[in-house]
Amino acid sequence: MDYARRLFARIRALQTIQWISNADRTFAIHADQDFVFGPTELAGLKIFFTGPGVNPPTPLTIASGGAGNCIACHAPPAFTDFAFHNTIEDVLEFYRAFGEKARAREVRNPAPELRGIVLKPHDLPPLAAFLRALNEDYE
């Protein structure tokens, strides 16, 4: 978790950002694989790294969302829990709904990290875009 905090601090401190698009295909490996990392993916990365600050989350965090708290279980550099999941959208919707249920005490004994997931529907597309940017489709 310390590595994740240091990494996110470095990302937040970036002064200039160079976006990557398919036009920049100069990768030695996976040269034919689509890859984009732009403002949407960066917004998703920030949601991925952002926790609620306090647990349980404040009413302001609950109202505004943007706290994926993903790194509580999916730590960098792999960003995975090494489990098989359905589509990215299915997984994100599950966590969004589960976070709400955990905070409402509708789930028996949820892990504290799950109560810290505060995602709103508008958080899901950039978070999905960031997760897709992590894809390395080895053939």
Nearest to 22 by CA among 6, 38, 46, 45: 38
- Domain extents in the chain: 2-133
pTM: 0.62
Residue 41, amino acid: E
**pLDDT mean by block of 10 residues, the chain; 139 residues:** 80 82 66 76 87 77 84 76 77 89 84 86 92 67
User: Tell me, what's the pLDDT at 36?
Assistant: 77
Residue recorded with tokens 């390395």? 136
pLDDT value at position 63? 83
Using DSSP, how many helices (H) and how many strands (E) does the chain show? Answer: 6, 0
